[in-house]
Amino acid sequence: KVKDKESLLRRLMVAGGEPVSGQMLADEAGVSRTAVWKWVRELEEDGYTVRSVRKKGYVLEASPDRLSPALIRQHLKDDRFVKDIIHYESVGSTMPLAHREAQNGAPDGTVIVAEEQTEGRGRLARPWSSAAGKGIWMSVILKPDIPPHRAPQFTLIAAVAICLAIRETAEVEARIKWPNDLLVGRRKVTGILTELQADPDRVQAIIIGTGINVNQELDDFPAELADIATSVRIEAGQQVDRAALAAAVLTNLGKYSRLYIEEGFTPIKELWEKNSDTIGRKVNAVMMREKVTGTAIGITEDGVLEIRTEDGGIRGIYSADIEP
């Protein structure tokens, strides 16, 4: 039922390009036609283009390039997973915000998303470049009932979810580089950061941070990333709808975490290996104190990467940077 600017917007979105009568909206909301017109003006101030068709009503013609909750929800195929979407213009990083929300009782399926991060970060506090309006800088709170040692599997679930979302939305073939990167060719299009709140025997919350480069052009990246980063837009050859891609990522996250909870890790492992860039490759796993060289042959139930070394033995890698 229409009662304010947001619900009016949803109504116009659902109408899918057909005019919605101002009188009908006014009657439904129990307000004057002038009040409806004022909401329309406010939507235009927010960047929406609303056309007024004489004697017929209002038509939503264009939406702003934003990750606002209404725009993301418009594209959600399945609303079982996403609970709350909290949208910021600019933040340091979405990760500490998500941690705070999770601690304060935010449910599974809470999403924190920002247009810009000024202090985005990767693993080991490495900086993550997060230009305004160009990517999907988002943290998702999950609260599965699992022991902490199974948490790394959610990085793999997220990788599968994002990889397939990019393919479905933009027809770009990204591949998964263990543990937390998506590549197109040799270039990184997405980084994933998984953090944990846990008791010794139970996970309180898993925070999945997704940094997806969407609409950058090559010269939008800082110089140090010029040779290693790419965006969905660069690979697709055209501008990509960020809200649609964010919705696809969230739909898939819901879908594959449900699959994991219901059927265990096997179906995820299959999808992960099928879309992996790492399996079958000769790699160097660089860790704090050593380097392991060999052929990546698979991942285990716990998300551990298995490498067959030169001497024929198999080594399990829990955490490392993988280099060619």
Positions touching ligand BT5 (CB under 6 A) are 93-95, 117, 120-124, 126, 128-130, 137-139, 180-181, 188, 191-193, 209-211, 213, 225, 228-229
CB 128 within 8 A of CB 211: yes
- Residue 75, CA distances (Å) to 203, 299, 312 in order: 30, 33, 49
CB 136 within 8 A of CB 212: yes
Q: Which is nearer to ligand BT5, 122 or 298 (CB)?
A: 122
User: What stretches of the chain show up as alpha helix (H) in DSSP?
Assistant: 5-14, 22-29, 33-45, 69-75, 94-103, 153-170, 232-236, 242-263, 266-274
At a CB cut-off of 8 Å and minimum separation 6, what does 9 contact? 43, 48, 60, 70
- Report the DSSP pairing between strands 135-142 and 203-213: antiparallel
Radius of gyration of the chain (CA): 22
Residue 178 Cβ, how far from ligand BT5 at the closest point, in Å?
11
Q: Which is nearer to ligand BT5, 35 or 318 (CB)?
A: 318
Residue 48 Cβ, how far from ligand BT5 at the closest point, in Å?
26
Residue 181 Cβ, how far from ligand BT5 at the closest point, in Å?
6
Q: Which is nearer to ligand BT5, 127 or 264 (CB)?
A: 127
Q: Which is nearer to ligand BT5, 25 or 142 (CB)?
A: 142
H or E segment and range at residue 47:
none
Q: Which is nearer to ligand BT5, 128 or 265 (CB)?
A: 128
Please give the angle made by the CA atoms of 271, 276 and 280, to the nearest 5 degrees. Answer: 120
Question: Per-residue DSSP letters for 160-171?
Answer: HHHHHHHHHHH-
Q: Which is nearer to ligand BT5, 129 or 215 (CB)?
A: 129
Q: Which residue has the tokens 């979810």?
A: 161
Residue 75 Cβ, how far from ligand BT5 at the closest point, in Å?
19
Residue 230 Cβ, how far from ligand BT5 at the closest point, in Å?
8
CB 135 within 8 A of CB 210: no
Residue 216 Cβ, how far from ligand BT5 at the closest point, in Å?
8
| Closest by CA position to 174, among listed 75, 128, 240 | 240
Tokens, residue 79: 């609303």
Q: Which residue has the tokens 């939406």?
A: 63
Q: Which is nearer to ligand BT5, 225 or 297 (CB)?
A: 225
Report the alpha-carbon distance of residue 321 to residue 180 in Å, rounded: 10
Residue 100 Cβ, how far from ligand BT5 at the closest point, in Å?
13
Residue 131 Cβ, how far from ligand BT5 at the closest point, in Å?
8
Q: Which is nearer to ligand BT5, 95 or 203 (CB)?
A: 95
